[in-house]
Chain A
Amino acid sequence: MVTKPGLAIRGVKGIVLVLCCAVVVLPFIAVISTSLADQEQITRAGGYVLWPANPSFDAYAAIFRGGVVTRVTLVSIGITLVGSGLSVAVVSMLAYSLSRQGSFGHRPILFLVLFTMLFNAGIIPNYLLIKQLGLIDSYWALILPGLTSAFQIIIVRAFFMEVPREIVDAARIDGANELQILTRIMLPLSKAVIAVVALFNAVAYWSAFFNAVLYLNSTEKWPLQLVLRTYVVDNAQIGTDLPGEVVPPQQSLQMAILVVSLIPICLVYPFLQKHFAKGVVIGAVKG
């Protein structure tokens, strides 16, 4: 029969799905709960709690009072906004300029872009380039290399090419220049894919950690992920400079930093999700 599967099969499926979801969700619940728990409960539980008895934001207040977390969070926000904004601009401009078949240099430029998918120069050559350009210890070293991706250029181009030729021609007859056609016609008609590119790049800029290890020498320039590694992965002691201050438990401070690094992702996630089906999938299957 093709109707509903048997009870046993449905039961097994249900258990598997619940387990999968629990494995994903439980760590986040423990992290958030521990960041909100007080000293007494943490001591009683032996380090971590699954539900805060008396939730308080002391740990958050403490990490932001210290100054370091505030600074690195702002640095990461800055890199993320500048990086994803510029990447959308650069990618959509190049995708648009490659979207008209038969235009000057269309095929060689397209090939130049596509060919980059086949290779990746690796750590040492990339490092030498950044050094030669004098970008060591500069935030541009974290931003510029990630602005263009052949894959994204091809996906956005494919969307632009589906915009009916008649609309573009009509706009041109009305006196619109190329930039106006891009900003007033192409981008509004391709909102979904542009949103996906922007959000994916934002997540990538926010998450990157190793390029900062490689290219930034001075610790005061560090982005959030490096501070996260130092305090939460390598378990460096978190202290405050203020004498006599009551410091919230170490675990709460660590988990609070972790939560801070999660917030932007959770903020953009619903928007990303709305576009999953439209943007990524079509692009991935096409590409």
Chain B
Amino acid sequence: MADVKPRLGLWQRLRRDRFLLLLGLPGVALVVLFHYGPLLGNVIAFKDYQPYLSIWEAPWVGFANFEVIVNGDPQFLNALKNTLIISFLQIIVVFPIPIGIALLLNSLLSERLKRVVQSVLYLPHFMSWVIVVALFQHMLGNAGIYNNWARVQDLPLLHIIGDPDLFFTLITAQVIWKDAGWGTIIFLAAISRVDTELFEAVAVDGGGRMRQLWHVTLPAIRSVIILLLILKLGDVLTVGFEQIILQQGPVGLDNSEVLDTYVYNHGVVGGNWGVSAAVGLVKGLVGAVLVLGANKVAHLFGERGLYARW
């Protein structure tokens, strides 16, 4: 029915859809204000902004604020280095774990057991970073539950919390604890959509469980893996801000400063608003370019990627 209607003019359509548009208005206004609005604030990257001046009064300084990115500033380079190390650890160490757990869960024959394990492993994802950091401190801290127990048993004590050399390890372990279980959900969904006839076909051809895994299950989740890797690459300059800022105190900035905390510590706390805004702006641009670039590579390999080819 809808297809044979004559095409309406712009004004007629506006009149017809006015209530529909009215319903969308609050959402559109909020998207524009809180997603596009902040972009305007990036002008201070080109200004010498101080909070007592308004944004408009602050004098223009050209690209002076961006110098820190290219002139080998040790604090900036340190933050960049730490960010890349943590991101690298998250791709190499953290990323495969949910895939492994998903394959393990999928191989369970009891549907009930699977469900129980899933509900346990998903739970930490819903804990705030404050809770996760608190739990780690009270479990593994110098006066935490493990050390209390180890002292009584005369076992070696752990000094993990607050040790700068172990900070990357700690951060990575926390991410695994919080999100590895939850990360399985998308792989399990992809596996569950596999046609069971494919498994049977492998079995008929005399293939065992390993062959099913290799020839059916893994190819089934390949595009999901690629999609998530693309998203991860786009986020390579962003590592858990709340997680890290909560734990910077005892560790010191040498090992714990990442780009986002640098922007906060340098700008909001330290008063170098312009420089921080410049770093944040470049970081955002690089992130967008990385997503688009990674997606392009996925297309070249014949994958669908984040969005279809334009």
Interface of A toward B, CB cutoff 8 Å: 1-2, 4-5, 13, 16-17, 20-21, 23-25, 27, 30-31, 45-48, 89-91, 93-94, 96-98, 100, 102-105, 109, 112-113, 116, 118-129, 131-132, 144-145, 147-148, 150, 153, 165, 177-179, 182, 203, 206-210, 214, 225, 228-229, 232-234, 251, 254-255, 258, 261-262, 265, 269, 272-273, 276-277, 280-282, 284-285
Bound CA span A47–B277, Å:
45
Chain A interface secondary structure, helix, strand, loop or mixed?
A: helix
Asked whether A13 and B107 contact (CB < 8 A) given A48-B138, A209-B129, the answer is yes
> Which residue on chain B has the smallest CB distance to residue A96?
B23
Check B112 for interface membership: any CB of A closer than 8 A: no
A265 B277 Cβ-Cβ under 8 A? no
Within 8 A of A (CB), among B120-142: 120-124, 126-131, 133-135, 137-139
Q: Is the CB of A210 within 8 A of B241?
A: yes
Q: Across the interface, do B131 and A228 meet the contact criterion of CB distance under 8 Å?
A: yes
Kindly list chain A residues whose C-beta atoms are within 8 Å of the C-beta of B124: 24
Contact A122 B23 (CB under 8 A): no
Residue of A nearest to B249 (CB): A234
For A27, the closest partner residue in chain B by CB is B135
Digitize B26-51: 1 where CB-to-A-CB distance is under 8 Å, 0 elsewhere: 11101111111111111010000001
Evaluate contact between A47 and B128: CB separation under 8 angstroms. no
Cα separation A145 to B34 with both chains bound (whole Å): 5
- Can you pick out 20 interface pairs between chain A and chain B where the beta carbons lie within 8 Å of each other? A2-B207, A47-B144, A47-B148, A90-B27, A94-B27, A94-B31, A98-B24, A104-B20, A120-B287, A121-B284, A124-B268, A125-B41, A126-B38, A144-B30, A147-B34, A178-B22, A225-B128, A251-B138, A280-B185, A282-B189
Contact count A vs B, C-beta below 8 Å = 263
Q: In whole angstroms, how far apart are the Cα atoms of A118 and B307 in the complex?
A: 11
Residues from chain B with Cβ under 8 Å of A280 in the complex: 185
Closest Cβ neighbor of B101 among chain A residues: A20
* CA of A120 to CA of B42, assembled, Å: 12
Chain B residues near A225 (CB, 8 Å)?
128, 130
A145 to B35, CA, bound (A): 8
Closest residue of chain B to A177 (Cβ to Cβ) is: B19
Q: Which residue of chain A is the closest to B178 with respect to CB atoms?
A: A24
With A2-B208, A121-B42 as given contacts, are A25 and B30 in contact (CB-CB < 8 Å)? no
**Do A127 and B268 have beta carbons less than 8 Å apart?**
yes
Count of B interface residues, CB-CB < 8 Å = 98
- In the complex the two chains form, is A93's CB within 8 Å of B27's CB? yes
Partner of B287, one of A30, A119, A206, A251: A119
CA distance A127 to B264 in the complex (A): 10
Which residues in chain B, 92-134, are within 8 Å of chain A measured between CB atoms? 101, 104, 107-109, 117, 119-124, 126-131, 133-134
Chain A positions within 8 Å of B82 at CB level: none
Max chain A C-beta neighbours (<10 A), residue from B101, B108, B117, B128: B128
Query: Which residues of B line the A interface, CB within 8 A?
Result: 2, 10, 13-14, 16-17, 19-24, 26-28, 30-42, 44, 51, 55, 101, 104, 107-109, 117, 119-124, 126-131, 133-135, 137-139, 143-145, 148-149, 151-152, 177, 181, 185-186, 188-190, 193, 203, 207-209, 212, 224, 238, 241-242, 245-246, 249, 260, 263-264, 267-268, 273, 276-277, 280-281, 283-284, 287-288, 291-292
Q: What are the residues of chain B within 8 A of A127 when measuring CB–CB?
A: 41, 268
* A203: B residues at CB distance < 8 A: 126
Quick one: which of B37, B38, B238 has the most chain A CB within 10 A?
B38
Contact: B42 with A104, CB < 8 Å? no
On whether the beta carbons of A125 and B38 are closer than 8 Å, the reply is yes
Are the C-beta atoms of B14 and A104 separated by less than 8 Å?
Answer: yes
B217 CB to closest chain A CB, in angstroms? Answer: 13
The answer to whether A210 and B242 touch across the interface, beta carbons within 8 angstroms, is: yes
Interchain CB contact under 8 A, B280 and A122: yes
* B186 close to A123 (CB less than 8 A): no
Q: Find out whether the CB atom of B104 lies under 8 angstroms from the CB atom of A16.
A: yes
- Asked if residues A122 and B16 are in contact (CB atoms below 8 Å), the reply is no
Question: Is there contact, CB below 8 Å, between B186 and A233?
Answer: no
Nearest CB to that of B14 among chain A residues? A104
* Contact indicator B138/A113 (Cβ below 8 Å): no
Query: Smallest CB–CB gap between B24 and chain A, Å?
Result: 3
Partner of A31, one of B30, B31, B138, B152: B138
Q: Given A25-B120, A93-B26, A121-B284 in contact, is the A128-B41 Cβ separation under 8 Å? A: yes
Known contacts A118-B292, A122-B283, A132-B41, then 7 further A-B pairs from the complex at CB < 8 Å, ordered by chain A residue: A96-B20, A104-B17, A112-B28, A123-B241, A124-B44, A282-B189, A285-B186
